[in-house]
Structure 1
Amino acid sequence: MTNPLSTPRIAHVCKPVYNQALMAALCATALQGSLLLMPGAAQALELDYQHQYNEKDRDHTDKVMITQALDNGLAFSFQFVASPAEKSNGQPGQPFEHMTKDSLKGKVKYSHKLTKHLKFKPKFTYSQGKDKKSYKPALKFPYELGYGFSATPGYYYKVTTYKDAKETKRDNVWS
């Protein structure tokens, strides 16, 4: 008889049953997020799922995001966006049916308290979709005015490149 602990086995983290694309995305997102877990430093792990319906286009979108926040103010997020494939007659797909990847997004952000009322929040986001890629460094300075009010001046620079011959888009935004 062999010792079950010494026998190598292949671990199945996820077994997609109904919707293979959506379940595979959930598994991949969870696995990527689990790599960020650090013993003793974890402050919060958040899983956010959204199902959206656009009444005008009659299409559905599903978003899954996992965020790991650490005690030192650093946070990592990964988001997967999927939608049902269009039917052969051109009609929008049914919810959770033949899901296709729309985009992947990764985000790193940091929050540091400069004074009692002022924070420093840099952020970097990378997004990859079907026909475009973008990256966006950003900087915000939230200031608590008191009585539940705050002001958040900020800046971001976003660069979007497209797979086709479309020109690269660059946005400089002050808010």
Structure 2
Amino acid sequence: MKARLIAAVLATLALSGCASDEEKPLTDAQGRWVDVFCGGVLPGMRAGQELRAQNPADPAAVKASYLKLITANATAFADAEEKLKELGPPSDELKAVHERLVKYAGESARSYVAAEAPVKALEPNAQFWENAEKALQDTSQVTSPEDLRATFDALEKSPKYAAAMGKSEPCRGLKAES
């Protein structure tokens, strides 16, 4: 009888230890991971909004705004890559998502850094935007641009992480900007 009771207790402990990440409350580290994810995208989105608001008839203002976009993205993605590496995957289930996101952030940061000099060298004229987009495309190191959308999709499919995104200040900022 005593042996069966011990076996039952051990089985219960083993099963409770195997609960999926969805069944566990959000940890502080997981919340920070969500904040870092959205925080890596938010500065570029804000700078992009500012760029789209520029009057195309003022190429100098468009160029200044475009350079601000490049700088914001380079800095935010580099910071996100570093912080995500420090935090590690938010859960075993999201390990592949985490690895894709770290790769995307690093490639994006390097792409924007590489684009800065060619964009600075462009004349602020009527073709600036088109030429800047070409320079950005030519210097892009992002191998899988769809990885960012895939990360959002994976998090939104998870009730736990979707709720965390709803509570995250940077994620709420993304929704407000879009």
TM interval, short-chain normalised: under 0.3
Which structure has more relative contact order (CA 8 Å, sep 6+)? It is 2
Structure with the higher strand share, 1 or 2: 1
Tell which structure's C-alpha radius of gyration is larger: 2
Question: What TM-score, normalized to structure 1?
Answer: 0.24
Structure with the higher helix share, 1 or 2: 2
